[in-house]
Amino acid sequence: MQSLFLSRFSSLYITTALFCLLFLVGAFQFEGFGSSRVVANLFSDNAFLVITAIGMTFVIISGGIDLSVGAVIALTGVVCGLLIGELQMHPLLVFPLVLVGGGLFGAAMGALIHYYRLQPFIVTLAGMFLARGLATTLSEESIPIEHAFYDAVSDFGMLLPGGAWVGASTLILLLVLVAAVILAHYSRLGGYIYALGGSAQSAQLMGVPVARTTVSIYAISGFLSALGGIVYSFYTFSGYSLAAVGMELDAIAAVVIGGTLLSGGSGYVLGTVIGVLIMGVIQTYISFDGTLNSWWTKIVIGLLLFAFIGMQRLLTRQQAARLATGAAH
């Protein structure tokens, strides 16, 4: 019973408990913190990060890493800015274009990783330079996006009791979340992704199409980053080549705090969402406090990272020890 608790959902429980704890601390300390409005804002303010981090979750579960996501967000923003803001194309024409573009970008990185046996770290680093470089080349200035559709999007949504506003970003986030859970747990590809993270060699012997899966994983991450970029542009009404610098770190941190093993093979999409929310709560807490500086966010996230990685390490060691003793008798 204990091992069941330890090995399966334990990280998810811990993450959720941590979120509740942080939220409660804030709610007790500050008036107005414990409102549904704050919760709704956590979602809408971090929607682009959640969407991107969900893509990162799949990459990390498979045992890889994607450093290009922040740059893809910026590139998406710039392309949207150029096509919508300057050329006045309709967003509904532009969006499919950038989404497919993001997917192809990721797929190309996946193909390089698989076929040329290059390390994901360095390939996606090059991808980050490439995307950021393309964005800079297209425009060094921030491009404002003015379009009736964007206004409609920002007006779209519903007001929940307590002043909570559920906008388009939040709705997109929820849609992505549902799709991601289905992909992870109710599709063959999902099983393959977990299988790759468990052991690429065993997966191959068990008949997993490794090439197709690897390319798909990075394509999904690229696609979701592009989607994150679109949602980000709803938020800023502009496209800027220096947007979302360092966002890949936030995404990775959220995935780890969400309980996904950085060595791959285990993790939950839902955990990642809560991971982002934890980071959001810390930021909200600091802004409510007013005396604390924003740099505490980084230190606290660093400490959380350390705690979670240490815990993961302990868990895997315990598991290995249990297997060894299991083999002994």
Partner 1 sequence: MSNLNTTAGRPPAPAKIKLPRVNGRYLWPLLGLFLLLAVNLAITPEFFRIEIQDGRLYGSLIDVLNRSAPVALLAIGMTLVIATGGIDLSVGATMAIAGAVCANLIVGGVDSIFLVVAAGLAAGLMAGAVNGGLVSYMGIQPIVATLILMVAGRGIAQLINAGQIVTFQSEAFAFIGTGTLLGLPFPIVLVLIVFALVQLLMRKTALGLFVESVGCNAGASYYLGINQRAVKIVAYCIAGICAALAGMISAADIQGSDANNAGLWLELDAILAVVIGGASLMGGRFSIPLSIVGVLVIQCLGTTIIMSGLPAKFNLLIKAVVVIFVLLLQSPLFQQQMGALFARFQKRTNTEAKV
Partner 2 sequence: MNLLSLSGMEKRYPGVKALDGVDFQLRAGEIHALLGENGAGKSTLVKVMTGALQGDGGSMSFLGAPLKLKSTAHAQSVGISTVYQEVNLLPNLTVAQNLYLGREPKRFGLIDWKRINRQSREVLKRFDLDIDVSRPLSSFSVAVQQLIAIARGVDMSAKVLVLDEPTASLDADECEQLFGVMRELRDKGIGIVFITHFLDQVYAVCDRITVLRNGQLVGEFEAATLSRSELVGHMLGKELQAQTHGREHREEKSLTQPLLEVQELAVSGSLQPTSLCVRRGEAVGLAGLLGSGRSEVCRAVFGVDRKTSGTLKVNDAEKHFLQPADAISEGLALCPEDRKTSGIVGPLSIRENIALALQARRGWWRPISRVEQERLAQRFIRELQIATPDAEKPIEQLSGGNQQKVILARWLATSPQLLVLDEPTRGVDIGAHAEILKLIRQFCRDGMSLLVTSSELDELLAFSDRVAVMRDRRKVAEIEGDDITEGNIMRAIAEA
Among partner 2, partner 1, none, what binds residue 8 when CB lies within 5 to 8 Å by partner kind?
A: partner 2
Residues 236, 224: Cα–Cα separation, whole Å = 18
Among partner 1, partner 2, none, what binds residue 296 when CB lies within 5 to 8 Å by partner kind?
A: partner 1
Among partner 1, partner 2, none, what binds residue 156 when CB lies within 5 to 8 Å by partner kind?
A: none
- Specify burial of residue 316 (Cβ count, 10 A radius: 0-12, 13-18, 19+): middle
Report the residue number, 97 or 305, with the smaller CB distance to partner 1: 305
Q: How many CB atoms lie within 10 A of CB 296?
A: 14
Residue that has been written with the tokens 């955990």 in this structure: 271
Q: Calculate the alpha carbon distances from 25 to 12, 40, 322 in Å.
A: 20, 18, 37
318 binds partner 2 (CB under 8 A): no
CB of 70 to partner 2, least distance (A): 29
Identify residues 65-124 at the interface with partner 2 (CB under 8 A).
Answer: none
Residues 43, 19: Cα–Cα separation, whole Å = 13
E strand intervals along 4-93: none
Residue 239: phi and psi, rounded to 5, are -125, 130
Among partner 1, partner 2, none, what binds residue 115 when CB lies within 5 to 8 Å by partner kind?
A: partner 1
324 binds partner 1 (CB under 8 A): no
Identify residues 9-38 at the interface with partner 2 (CB under 8 A).
Answer: none
Q: Which helix (H) or strand (E) holds 74?
A: helix 69-80
CB of 115 to partner 1, least distance (A): 7
DSSP annotation of 34: T
> Pick from 28, 92, 116, 290: which binds partner 1 (CB under 8 A)?
116
315 binds partner 1 (CB under 8 A): no
Among partner 1, partner 2, none, what binds residue 81 when CB lies within 5 to 8 Å by partner kind?
A: none
Identify residues 224-253 at the interface with partner 1 (CB under 8 A).
Answer: 249, 252-253
206 binds partner 2 (CB under 8 A): yes
Structure tokens at 273: 């969402």
- Specify burial of residue 291 (Cβ count, 10 A radius: 0-12, 13-18, 19+): exposed
Contacting positions for partner 2 (CB under 8 A): 3-4, 7-8, 182, 185-188, 191-192, 194-195, 197-199, 201-208, 265-266, 319, 323-329
